[in-house]
Chains A and B, each alone.
Chain A
Amino acid sequence: MATDIKNLVTWPDDGVSRIPIQIYTDPDIYGEEQQRIFRGPIWSFVGMADEIAKPGDYQTTYIGDTPVIVLRDLEGEMQVIVNRCAHRGNLVCIAKEGHAEELTCVYHNWRYDLQGNLKSVAFGKGVGKQGGMPDDFNREEHGMQRLKCEVYAGLVFATFSDEVAPLTEWLGEEMVENIDRVVGRGMVLLGTYSQYMPNNWKLYMENVRDSYHASILHMFQATFRINRLSMKGGIKLSDGGWHHISYSIAETDKEEAEYDSKKLRAVKDGYTLADPTLVKGWREFDCGTTLAIQSVYPNFVVQQISNSLALRLCLPKGPEECELMWWVFGVPEDTEEKRKIRIKQSNMIGPGGVISMEDGVVGGWIQRGTKRDQDKSTVVQMGGRGIEPSAEGRATEVSIRGFWQGYRDCMGV
């Protein structure tokens, strides 16, 4: 039944530093990704536990393009269940979120408990002793598909895989540390939105891991001279390259203060922010981290840009489209003033973000630029050809190569 993937695509030489363009458009490859990556040995982020607080609360989302229900069962345990009735495959939960004591398919009234076990079938014994299910129909064999689920720091993850390591082991110590730092104080959801992009999901995830483009494509900081080029930065890659963090650190408060007072001048004369409070924040973390973009393989992002905190999930929507889901949050201990700063800084991110809006458009341009050159490959060789982490964060594409290492591991190409 499994396709021989090597018949679908030939990977160019040069390991993970050349990427075959075909894999951004090919529907067969897209199908294989759903099986080998999204139903493969990975943990997928599916929601925030606090948003599914009470027994019976649920949300619907996707793992890859498979619809799933994330719910809290009557015992208070989180469950992730494929949103598909075992009878005819109908979606069982239609609403984006809601509350239910049981799961009932509207089509033929098959009823499941909140662990997905089939409890009853309408007219199962027939009507007037006519019809009904066969005598040997065993309800236990017809439950909804329940996935393995773990909650860490309020983040709910699920997997189709029996083989994947436990979540924190799979993430590795460094990745868990950053999640603890950004998310571990608790999350207060400030807003959600989505950005729909005309490109393959992998082009966005490459962009997230591409520290090379940051100060080049995104001209906002350069135009208004608010780059902090003197800061230390670097890249962390998990073993095998699957997950990454790119970060900057202001070592001292003094450096922060200088930045606020002196550097708000434009590169070109005349360009200054009329209201520079947009980029004024506070030193939130003792370690001095001012920016940390973390990607959890394959499509989840934990973001700290100054005091702007967000989660992002890039959902594939066919070979040439994807949808980026955003959760913007603060922490429970935020004062009113700090909350206002987070709101203000949210102007930098999202589909209307003065810094990040370009990330929504560049993938579509690549998609169009490569349409007729499926046999060619792209070049990802800044900073080498392998996945050795680099102390210098800007002039390297090592994190992108790490993504492709994870991709090749899962896909077998």
Chain B
Amino acid sequence: MHGGLIVDGSISAPGDVRQLISDLIIEYAHAIDDDRLESWTDFFTDECSYRIINRENHDKGRVVGIMDCSSKGMLQDRILALREANVFEPHTYRHIVSGTRVVGQEGDVFNVETSFLVVRTMQEGDMAVFCTGKYIDEIVVAGSTARFISRIVVCDSNRIDTLIVIPI
């Protein structure tokens, strides 16, 4: 499958499953970049978790990250807080996601990793690489739908510039 290359952990998965997983990851990114944040929670199963954590903490097995939602309600609250409570300078993201690979499977649940790059554009036009890293996902594929059971956003840098309010 990998043409004799030494790979660390990739497994094979049927093409249609790969397509559903890939669509989920791409649609998720577009939803955020297009400011359709109210639909963000729809990409997750009812029992779900979402965490942003830096690479150092993740590698050391530390548990506290930058955001940590352990229920769908907490995901909704994040977005409501962003819309109604939090104070910040308007900005948008552009997600570049690539290199999705499947690294595990148990029944209809797939372990998937994807690289990402997020460029942040401020209202006055300042643009900068805001974050790069890797999504570590647990995705359930049932019939023709795929959803995140858990999404861990592992940021390469320990630093966040100014603040983070829009999810990655």
Residues of A within 8 A of B (CB): 189-198, 217-220, 222-224, 268, 271, 273-275, 277-278, 323, 328, 339-340, 342-344, 346-347, 350-352, 354, 357-358, 360-361, 364-365
A sample of 30 cross-chain residue pairs with beta-carbon separation below 8 angstroms, ordered by A number, consists of A191-B63, A192-B158, A193-B65, A193-B66, A194-B158, A196-B160, A198-B162, A217-B87, A218-B87, A219-B84, A220-B81, A220-B85, A224-B81, A224-B85, A271-B80, A273-B73, A274-B72, A275-B76, A343-B68, A346-B68, A347-B69, A351-B66, A351-B163, A352-B66, A352-B163, A352-B164, A354-B86, A357-B86, A358-B86, A361-B162
Task: Give which listed residue, A220, A343, A354, contacts B64 with CB less than 8 A.
Answer: A343
Given A273-B77, A344-B68, A351-B66: A194 and B85 interface contact (C-beta under 8 Å): no
Task: Give which listed residue, A274, A339, A343, A361, contacts B163 with CB less than 8 A.
Answer: A361
Given A194-B160, A273-B77, A274-B74: A350 and B66 interface contact (C-beta under 8 Å): yes
Q: Which A residues lie within 8 Å of B56 (CB)?
A: 192
A268 to B84, CA, bound (A): 10
Assess whether B119 is interfacial by the CB under 8 Å rule: no
One digit per residue, 1 when the CB lies within 8 angstroms of any chain A CB and 0 when it does not, for chain B 65-106 equals: 111111111101110110011111100000000000000000
Q: Which B residues lie within 8 Å of A351 (CB)?
A: 66, 160, 162-164
A193 and B73 within 8 A (CB): no
B67 and A357 within 8 A (CB): no
Least CB distance, A355 to chain B, in whole angstroms: 9
A216 to B161, CA, bound (A): 23
Q: Which B residues lie within 8 Å of A339 (CB)?
A: 63
A271 and B84 within 8 A (CB): yes
Q: Which A residues lie within 8 Å of B163 (CB)?
A: 195, 351-352, 357-358, 360-361
Q: Which B residues lie within 8 Å of A364 (CB)?
A: 162
Task: Give which listed residue, A191, A197, A344, A357, contacts B165 with CB less than 8 A.
Answer: A357
Categorize the interface residue count of chain B: 35 or more
| Extra A-B contacts (20), CB below 8 Å, given A193-B159, A343-B68 | A190-B62, A191-B57, A191-B63, A191-B65, A195-B160, A196-B159, A196-B161, A273-B73, A273-B77, A275-B71, A278-B74, A323-B159, A339-B63, A351-B164, A352-B67, A352-B165, A354-B86, A357-B88, A357-B164, A358-B86
Given A344-B70, A354-B85: A196 and B62 interface contact (C-beta under 8 Å): no
Residues of B within 8 A of A (CB): 52-54, 56-57, 62-74, 76-78, 80-81, 84-89, 158-165
A347 and B67 within 8 A (CB): yes
Least CB distance, A390 to chain B, in whole angstroms: 26
A219 to B81, CA, bound (A): 9
For B67, give the chain A residue with the smallest CB separation.
Answer: A352
A193 and B57 within 8 A (CB): yes
Least CB distance, A26 to chain B, in whole angstroms: 23
Task: Give which listed residue, B77, B86, B160, contacts A275 with CB less than 8 A.
Answer: B77
Q: Which A residues lie within 8 Å of B85 (CB)?
A: 219-220, 222-224, 354
For A356, give the chain B residue with the smallest CB separation.
Answer: B163
Least CB distance, B48 to chain A, in whole angstroms: 12
A323 to B72, CA, bound (A): 32
A197 and B87 within 8 A (CB): no
B57 and A197 within 8 A (CB): no
Q: Which B residues lie within 8 Å of A194 (CB)?
A: 158-160
A91 to B164, CA, bound (A): 33
Least CB distance, A192 to chain B, in whole angstroms: 7
Highest count of chain A CB atoms <10 Å: which of B54, B74, B81: B81
B86 and A220 within 8 A (CB): yes
A361 to B91, CA, bound (A): 13
Q: Which B residues lie within 8 Å of A193 (CB)?
A: 54, 57, 65-66, 158-160
Q: Which B residues lie within 8 Å of A271 (CB)?
A: 80, 84
Given A196-B160, A274-B76, A351-B164: A191 and B62 interface contact (C-beta under 8 Å): yes
Least CB distance, A100 to chain B, in whole angstroms: 20
A274 and B161 within 8 A (CB): no
A296 to B134, CA, bound (A): 37
Q: Which A residues lie within 8 Å of B164 (CB)?
A: 351-352, 357
Given A192-B56, A193-B160, A223-B81: A275 and B64 interface contact (C-beta under 8 Å): no
Least CB distance, B11 to chain A, in whole angstroms: 31
A193 to B77, CA, bound (A): 23
A354 and B81 within 8 A (CB): yes
Q: Which B residues lie within 8 Å of A277 (CB)?
A: 71
Given A193-B54, A354-B85: A274 and B160 interface contact (C-beta under 8 Å): no
Least CB distance, A356 to chain B, in whole angstroms: 9
Least CB distance, A364 to chain B, in whole angstroms: 7
Q: Which A residues lie within 8 Å of B70 (CB)?
A: 340, 343-344
